[in-house]
A = this chain, B = another copy of it.
């Protein structure tokens, strides 16, 4: 099968920068796949692939991510489109980059489709990557750092029920600065967008912390009446 056009057309891919938190090592992690096909066969790269004729860009990103890594139903947002004429050695390929936030414990990785392997890498210790994928990660990290301070997207990196300590650590890791425990708690609780649950964390070797959950409906109500989320 072949496709013929009157004017120049380009291949279009989507690539996903998937972030997760490693609360043990206190670092951000990125989901990478090992390429099973040329070019860059055997090299680590962002999960992604070609956009099919009848799917939207967003759907393509969701599909490729699911196919290659098993990760589904997550926060996914368009980041930037990379279109330098020579960014792919085969021919001109545009890539619409997306970034995603995921609770690292919610998924078991399953490499498949064009990926030989899928694994989490520390943001501070990435392997050499295919194409311009390093640049995409840098861009995504900048976006994440900027957005997390004034939009309640951090919760996407945590399980539905979390402790205030986990939430604080999340901000400390992403913004790369320490926060004062008492001031942080005061600030986040004052917004009244967290539900205090009747549960405490389990399997810890010290006093267990209370669990909270993010109340999105409440947040949206509060935004309407003037709340400006800010950490």
Most B CB within 10 A of own CB, among A54, A81, A84, A85: A81
Residues of B within 8 A of A2 (CB): 4-6
Select A96's contact among B3, B55, B81, beta carbons within 8 Å. Answer: B81
Residues facing B in A28-70 (CB within 8 A) are 50-57
Residues of B within 8 A of A6 (CB): 1-3
Question: Does residue A11 face the partner (Cβ distance < 8 Å to B)?
Answer: yes
A1-31 near B? 1/0 per residue, CB < 8 Å: 1111111111110000000000000000000
Select A78's contact among B4, B55, B81, beta carbons within 8 Å. Answer: B81
Complex Cα distance A83/B83, Å?
14
Question: Does residue A110 face the partner (Cβ distance < 8 Å to B)?
Answer: no
Residues of B within 8 A of A10 (CB): 9-10, 12, 51
Complex Cα distance A67/B55, Å?
33
Residues of B within 8 A of A57 (CB): 81, 83, 94
Complex Cα distance A85/B52, Å?
9
Taken together, the copies of this chain in the complex come to 2
Residues of B within 8 A of A5 (CB): 2-5, 9, 11, 91
Residues of B within 8 A of A52 (CB): 8
Question: Does residue A210 face the partner (Cβ distance < 8 Å to B)?
Answer: no
Question: Does residue A80 face the partner (Cβ distance < 8 Å to B)?
Answer: yes
Question: Does residue A92 face the partner (Cβ distance < 8 Å to B)?
Answer: yes
A94-117 near B? 1/0 per residue, CB < 8 Å: 101000000000000000000000
Contact present for A11 and B7 (CB under 8 Å): yes
Residues of B within 8 A of A80 (CB): 78
Complex Cα distance A231/B53, Å?
44
Contact present for A7 and B12 (CB under 8 Å): no
Closest-by-CB residue of B relative to A85 is B54
Residue pairs across A and B with Cβ atoms less than 8 A apart, 7 shown, are A3-B8, A8-B52, A12-B83, A56-B83, A56-B85, A57-B81, A81-B96
